[in-house]
C-alpha cells in the first residue's frame, strides 16, 4: 500500500512532531443535556522559524535531530444534546466536525493525526476504516485497503433513541451519517477530495439497533448496524448497499458511542 501511494508513505514517514494542543469543554446537565468540546493543535510552526531562509536539499523537508518535522494545524468541534422524555426514554444526538491542514515543511499530516470513519463509535452501518475518503472505492481484495481510508476532513452526525427495558437492560435504535474527505487531490485515491458538487452524495448513511447492559461502573454494548448508502460509485442509486445481500455489521464495545 505504501509503495503504491507515495502520499500514504509520507504520512508514515519517521518524523518529529513538536505539537502543542488546547482543549475546551462545557457541559450542562439536566433534562436538556448539552455539551461542547473543541480541540485545537498545531505542530512545527515555532520550529520552522529557525529554518526560515535556509536552503533546502532539493524537495527534501528540513530536519530536526535527523528527522523531518511535521507542520500542521488541526481543529475539531463536537456538540452533544440529550433529551430525557422520561426516566426510561432518552434521545441522544451528536454532531462532529474536524479538519487538519498540513503545510510548510510537510504537506501531508502524520497518519496518526488524520481522520477515519466507520466502526463502533462512528457510522455503525459500516466497519471501521471502510468509508472514504469521499467517493473513493479501493480494490477491496487488497487486505491492506483499509490503510488509505483516511482523510483531512471529517463530518458526522448521530441520532439515537435509548429505552430502558428492565433492570440493567437497555435497547436503542440509531441513525448515523457522515464521511471523511481529502483537502488536496490525490491521483491514487480518485474522488476523495471534498467538492460542493458531490458533498451530499458523499455522505454515508447507516442505521441499526443496539442492546446495552449497564453495570453502573461500565456499559457493555452490542450494536447491529445496517449500511444504507456507501459513497463508493457516484453515478449509482442512493440506497446502494443491498446489491449483494443484507449488509449487517456487528459492533461489540464498552461504553456509549457518544
Residues in the chain with pLDDT values less than 50: 3
- Cα distance between residue 205 and residue 131, in whole Å: 11
pLDDT of residue 78: 99
Contacts of 33 (CB under 8 A, 6+ apart): 27, 80, 81, 82, 83, 84
What is the layout of strands, in order, in the sheet containing 89-102?
A: 19-28, 32-43, 72-84, 89-102, 153-166, 169-181, 204-214, 219-229, 248-254
**Region 6-254: CATH code:** 2.40.160.50
Q: Where are the domains of the chain?
A: 6-254
What is the rounded end-to-end Cα distance, in angstroms, of the chain? 32
Q: Is 198 helix (H, G, I), strand (E, B) or coil?
A: coil
pLDDT of residue 55: 75
Contacts of 94 (CB under 8 A, 6+ apart): 78, 79, 80, 81, 156, 157, 158, 258
CA 114 to chain centre: 8
CB 41 within 8 A of CB 21: yes
pLDDT of residue 66: 79
Amino acid at each position: 500500500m505504501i509503495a503504491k501511494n507515495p502520499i500514504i508513505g509520507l504520512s508514515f514517514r519517521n518524523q518529529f512532531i513538536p505539537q502543542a494542543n488546547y482543549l475546551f469543554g462545557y457541559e450542562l446537565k439536566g433534562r436538556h443535556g448539552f455539551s461542547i468540546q473543541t480541540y485545537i493543535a498545531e505542530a512545527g510552526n515555532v520550529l520552522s522559524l529557525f529554518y526560515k531562509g535556509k536552503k533546502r536539499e532539493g524537495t527534501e523537508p528540513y530536519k530536526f535531530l535527523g528527522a523531518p518535522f511535521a507542520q500542521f494545524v488541526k481543529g475539531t468541534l463536537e456538540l452533544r444534546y440529550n433529551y430525557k422524555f422520561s426516566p426510561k426514554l432518552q434521545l441522544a444526538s451528536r454532531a462532529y466536525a474536524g479538519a487538519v491542514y498540513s503545510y510548510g515543511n510537510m504537506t501531508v499530516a502524520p497518519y496518526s493525526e488524520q481522520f477515519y470513519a466507520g466502526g463502533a463509535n462512528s457510522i455503525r452501518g459500516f466497519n471501521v476504516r471502510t468509508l472514504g475518503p469521499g467517493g473513493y472505492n479501493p480494490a477491496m481484495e487488497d487486505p491492506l485497503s483499509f490503510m488509505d481510508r483516511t482523510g483531512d476532513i471529517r463530518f458526522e452526525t448521530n441520532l439515537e433513541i435509548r429505552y430502558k427495558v428492565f433492570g440493567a437492560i437497555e435497547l436503542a435504535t440509531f441513525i448515523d451519517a457522515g464521511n471523511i474527505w481529502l483537502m488536496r487531490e490525490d491521483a491514487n485515491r480518485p474522488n476523495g477530495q471534498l467538492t460542493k458538487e458531490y458533498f451530499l452524495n458523499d455522505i454515508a448513511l447507516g442505521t441499526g439497533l443496539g442492546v446495552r447492559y449497564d453495570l453502573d461502573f461500565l456499559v457493555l454494548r452490542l450494536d447491529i448496524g445496517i449500511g444504507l448508502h456507501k459513497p463508493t460509485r457516484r453515478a449509482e442509486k442512493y440506497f446502494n448497499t443491498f446489491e449483494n445481500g443484507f449488509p449487517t455489521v456487528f459492533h461489540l464495545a464498552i461504553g456509549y458511542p457518544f
